Amino acid sequence: MKRIGIEENLSDIRSALQQKGYELVEMKKQEDAASCDCCVISGQDRNVMGIMDAETKASVIDAHGKTADEVCQEVDARFS
């Protein structure tokens, strides 16, 4: 089963991914992303200063402006 890291404020996307059978990990700190196959972020605090410290080799999906279905399709595409 693929592990998906997800920010806590994305409850609608969390529900949709759970229905698809993904194992979800709430990302409360940077270390949580390290054990995930893919991460879904809200995009609200992303790289404002132009500096980004990547702590994971997992795919990162920015959910900003996307529906839960669109995010699920992106997650599915990463694993097919």
CA–CA separation, 50 vs 37, rounded Å? 25
Q: What is the pLDDT along the chain (80 residues), one digit of tens a residue?
A: 899 999 989 999 999 999 999 999 998 876 778 888 999 998 876 554 343 454 567 888 999 999 999 999 999 999 88
Q: Is the pTM of this model over 0.85?
A: no
CA angle 40, 15, 41 (to 5 degrees): 15
28, 6 Cβ separation under 8 angstroms: no
Q: What angle do CA 76, 77, 80 make, to 5 degrees?
A: 85
Among candidates 14, 4, 12, which has minimal Cα distance to 79? Answer: 4
Domains of the chain: 3-78 (3.40.50)
